[in-house]
Structure 1
Amino acid sequence: MNSTWVKIYTSHQFMKSEIVRQVLIDHEIEAVLMNKQDTAYKFGEVEVYIHQSDFDKALEIIIQNDL
């Protein structure tokens, strides 16, 4: 991942991060997940990354949808 990607959302629950990613994709914002959870014990974080140029729009979408 290069420097044009920024973290927009972090959660300890995979599904919450996936919902955020899907909402952003529905609004035509490219979003990817980075799962940093331990596979055996499920602790850690799941992060959502977007392009830096979409940050303001994505943040507005997240706030409007109470994500």
Structure 2
Amino acid sequence: MTVDNQQWKLVFTTNIPYQAEILKQMLESNGIESVVVNKQDTSYPSIGEAELYVVPHKEQMALKLIEGFDH
């Protein structure tokens, strides 16, 4: 995914969108810019996923924080 000419890195996917939003808030509270892309079908909410992306230079830090987060 490219935003503002940056190639953002995918760090988490889920079929439960609020999980991605909770992780996004946790990452941002730790100074990591992130964005959630919800790819769920509005007609069929059980189809598709929410994806959490971070800026490239914070990818490893984000992965460590997500790994330690009880979700």
TM over 0.5, shorter chain: yes
Does 2:32 correspond to 1:29? Answer: yes
Does 2:14 correspond to 1:5? Answer: no
Does 2:50 correspond to 1:46? Answer: yes
* Structure 2 letter corresponding to 1:5: W
Deviation at 1:64, TM superposition (A): 1.6
SS for the counterpart of 1:61 is: helix
Alpha-carbon distance between aligned partners in 2 of 1:53 and 1:66, rounded to the nearest angstrom:
24
Percent identity of equivalent pairs: 36
SS for the counterpart of 2:44 is: coil
Count how many residue pairs are aligned between Structure 1 and Structure 2: 67
TM-score when normalising by structure 1: 0.90
* Structure 1 letter corresponding to 2:22: I
Alpha-carbon distance between aligned partners in 2 of 1:48 and 1:55, rounded to the nearest angstrom:
11
Alpha-carbon distance between aligned partners in 1 of 2:57 and 2:40, rounded to the nearest angstrom:
27
Q: CA RMSD in A?
A: 1.2
Alpha-carbon distance between aligned partners in 2 of 1:29 and 1:16, rounded to the nearest angstrom:
17
